Structures are given as C-alpha cells and as structure tokens.
Amino acid sequence: MKRFFEKLEFWGLITFLAVFASTGCSLATTGAGGYSLLIEAVPGGSIMVVREQGEVLELGSVLSMPSTTRWPAFTASKWGKPGTVVATAVNAIHILVDIENGRGRTVSILPKDSFAPAAGEKSYYLTDIPPGRGLFGAWAPPVGSRVIFRGKVPLQDNPEGAPSPSVEIVVPPEANPWFVEIENRPGGRIIAWTNEGPELLGRVARPLAGCGRFGGTRFQSRGRIRANHPGVIDVSTSPEGVVGGFQILPLEHAFSTEMETAWKLSQWLIIAPEKGAFTGRKPLFSSGFVPGPAPGEKLWDMWSTYGRRSLVLVRENGGPWHWMPQATGRNDTALERVTHLRLYFPSTKEPQKAAGTP
C-alpha cells in the first residue's frame, strides 16, 4: 500500500492543484495551518508540534546545544525581524536574535548528518531529525515565524553564555496568494494570483538559464523549494540525493558584495520590485515558502499533506505547464528553454471548505 501511494506522488499533487483551481478559493482567506514547535533546549530534550486543537506530535530530540550565537551572520539576515525565523530550509533553520552594526546575529537549528555553513561552528542546536524531514520538511516554519526563548539567550559571543532551556516557534495561520508566476525574460512580469485577482509584484532584471551546485538541494526533490530567507528562494532541480538547483534573488541582495557574481552566472534569477523593496517582504521573501513534506511524510489529512508540499512548475518555449525538468550539478544552459515559472504557496485546508461550501 505504501508503495502504491508513493507512485501516486506526482499525480496526487496535480489532482490537488486541479481541484483547488476549480473551486476558486483563496489561500489568503483560509486561516489554516497555525501551530507551534516546542523545543526542550537541553541534550535529550524533545522536539514537538502542538496544533491549535491541542494535538501533540513528537518530531525528534536535541542532541547538543549552542555555546554562542553567530555574528556577523549571512548577509540577508539583516533584512529579517529580530525574534523570528530568518531562514527555513531542508538543512537548517536560522533564528535572528538581534541586528548589530547592520549585521544579523543568529542561532540555528540543524538536522543530523548534514552541514550548513551559515550556522557557524558553535551556534546551533543539533537534532536527531534527518534533513528534509519533520522540522526541516513537513513542519518547517516559514520565514517571519515568531520565536520565544524561555530563559537566557546569549546575545554576545560568550562561551559561558547559557542557552535558553526552551524555544517555541509560533507558526501563524496561512495568508498567502495562490501562486506566483514569473515570465523568465528581461522585463518579464512577476504576478501574484489571489482571490482579488492578479497583482504585479515586479519584473525580471536578469533571467534564469542554468542550474548550479547548491549543496542543500540534495535533501530535496525536483521541483520543490529547498530554502527561503529574506534574500533568496532556492529551488531544487535534482532528485533527492543529487545536487542541482537555482536561486531567485531580489535586486537589493543581488547588489550586495556577497552576491555580485550572480550577474555573471546563469544559476540566479534576479528580480526587481514594482515598488518598495523585495528583501524580507511578503509574499516571496517572508511568510510564504517552506520545504514542505518529503515523500512518505504526512500531516493531519490528505489536503494538508499535499497542499503544504512546495511545488514549482515551468513552461518551456511557451508550451504547457509541466514538472520541473531535471538538471544536476553545474550546467549553464540546462534551463534556457524555460520561459515561465509558477511557484505554489503552501496550503493545508481543503479547498471546498476554504470556499465556504459544505
């Protein structure tokens, strides 16, 4: 039976999207998906999900503790809000503790048997949860989720600082568009689709053409979101176990010293906002995308399991929408036929119920 459902993985997702589209409902009004992640921040402490209905699910346990925080943290952390999740990924969750001298100070949560350079050497809680699963998969918190430390948190790089005895990550109810479409050409439109209709978010400054060796992609399936933070959307183009993907960058981050090479390489899709700034803003760079359930993972029902699974579809040479083409390693022309991309936001509520029908 398990093997049967695994074979239906692709068509299950497509069926979900078809039913969702036919109802005309909006993710922006569902109010679904709120829960808390509780971490007993001591070696051997439990990591749990607590749903609004009081249901408790064990995800794993803490193996080791941080002895400090990391400063300066990765560049885009400065566009986050202190006291919130500033990055969510299959191989790390980064929490913004503070912003000092224009740079973020973070503490991280990591899965077992993986490595996240942005976490530093001593500034993370190590868990026994595999990459891309549980806290880093089905139950991953979106960027901007509030973090509550109960106890002392080291705000300076002090080995004697005592980490918090408990951490709570509050994942708010969903309030996202249905999806965002990107025309992959210079000046191409970036449009969010909601129940109020289309909204122009920005334009493409530099289109995508290739894939690159983004390490965390080996923990995510093809056509899925690998990571999201205030300055990036990372998409996997490779099957799990193989490296390959591309990144979507806001214009502001593309001009940072860290990312200046993105203008010369084809693995980055650089986008400019219609107004204001993209960095750290909803819906693309805060509050929206998560890695979502890995194959075999389940949430509380079919709709939540499929709906929270990130999905990126493409059109090649203006043709029909289809699954992300496979591209691995570094290949500067692997995606040059892609003319459109569609990024679906997570949803956990049954579409007909979201539309108010019995």
138 and 13 inside one domain = no
166 and 179 inside one domain = no
181 and 313 inside one domain = yes
pLDDT at 164: 63
pLDDT of 153 > 70? The answer is no
136 and 276 inside one domain = no
Alpha-carbon span 79 to 228, nearest angstrom: 13
pTM for the structure as a whole: 0.88
Which CA distances in Å does 291 have to 188, 240, 255, 320? 26, 13, 26, 25
Show which of 129, 144, 171 is a domain's final residue: 171
58 and 146 inside one domain = yes
208 and 259 inside one domain = yes
pLDDT of 142 > 60? The answer is yes
| Tokens 């912003």, located at residue | 99
121 and 102 inside one domain = yes
**What digits encode the pLDDT tens for the residues 228-240?**
999 999 999 999 9
139 and 19 inside one domain = no
151 and 182 inside one domain = no
**CB contact set of 101 (below 8 Å; sequence gap of 6+):** none
Alpha-carbon span 75 to 110, nearest angstrom: 19
pLDDT at 150: 84
Alpha-carbon span 240 to 230, nearest angstrom: 25
| Token pair in block for residue 234 | 């990372």
Kindly state the average pLDDT of the residues 208-230.
97
| Token pair in block for residue 125 | 């809680």
**What digits encode the pLDDT tens for the residues 313-352?**
999 999 999 999 999 999 999 999 999 999 999 988 776 5
pLDDT at 307: 85
Q: Element (H or E) spanning 304, and its range?
A: helix 302-307
Show which of 113, 147, 171 is a domain's final residue: 171
202 and 330 inside one domain = yes
16 and 94 inside one domain = no
Alpha-carbon span 356 to 300, nearest angstrom: 20
Alpha-carbon span 262 to 269, nearest angstrom: 8
Instruction: Please state the domain count of the chain.
Output: 2
**What digits encode the pLDDT tens for the residues 32-60?**
568 999 999 889 999 999 987 778 999 99
141 and 206 inside one domain = no
| Token pair in block for residue 261 | 């090479």
Show which of 111, 142, 171 is a domain's final residue: 171
Parent domain of 256? 2-29+174-354
Kindly state the average pLDDT of the residues 83-108.
96
pLDDT at 165: 80
